[in-house]
Structure 1
């Protein structure tokens, strides 16, 4: 196998300035709806990139759980690596890779902590097994074996068998408030279409076309 020989053309269509909404949130919602309509397995999956105190980036895939004019919301264990890195540097980057329709969206912004009420509302809406998994996992920390993890899971299941599963005090959420959002559409001959929305001081958005 020669990696340098693996390539394909991007032929799904172009992206022009007149096709874009003035607000990037509206534009994102339009593209997300098209991804949902195309029946992708995980249309809300996004890569979250953070940076630690030594400047080392790390990435992981999480699910977008809410979107409004304020930004992009996800939830996590506050003891996790990403949460600890956000605590020391709240500038993050989100990436939505919609390969099937030759699109990607990159969001640059700052992660702001959600209120306990907002976190609890979402946590209590999750399936019971997912709630128990949140209690069982000390996310990002070493665990001796899969067996040990499952033993903790079943212990939590027994502990909360007779009542509502409470919100863990180590579970939270973030809203990534965007400062820049890039929309990328694949193009023939690697002449891709890229547009960057940049938030202005008055809250409006400046839109620039970027070279591919």
Structure 2
């Protein structure tokens, strides 16, 4: 079963320096558009989608595949672990309501970033932990937090999250979209996603949509 190390991050959030001292965006940057995109991989995309959809400021979450070498892969192809793709989500968000920093906080709570090419019983490179950055600022922040969390030994082991440039994102088949909300009674949803989602919601209770 996939585990969420919630207790570590309850402590982490009380350590203001970790996230409060993040590098500031240069004032010379152009104003951001109303919506922005973060592309994150935390294992099974059903679980990733279910969690990030709960956050205020997140307009849409799309499940799909990225980071590999096969064009327009199917879910079955990705499941073989031979396409190089990770199960990931495009998280469309309003930066005036939720920042990329806050999404990274959620990212590091949503899964165990010290597990290499797996999350719990989901094993394979397609389940790797990864941040696919869309601009230099996202890259800088991702690398900053990983370095900081490792330095403060937030985990017993070092973070293995990949930080890679975003290239192309392939949307997964329609039946993968909104999977948890449409299939809550399926055993995987009931016994794996639901418990993790409840833990996630407790950590971010002040950031949840009504």
Which protein has greater RCO, CA pairs closer than 8 Å, 6+ apart?
Answer: 2
> Does TM, scored on the shorter chain, surpass 0.5?
no
When normalised by structure 1's length, the TM-score is 0.24
**Of Structure 1 and Structure 2, which has the larger fraction of its residues in helix?**
2
**Of Structure 1 and Structure 2, which has the larger fraction of its residues in strand?**
1
Q: Which structure has the larger Rg?
A: 1
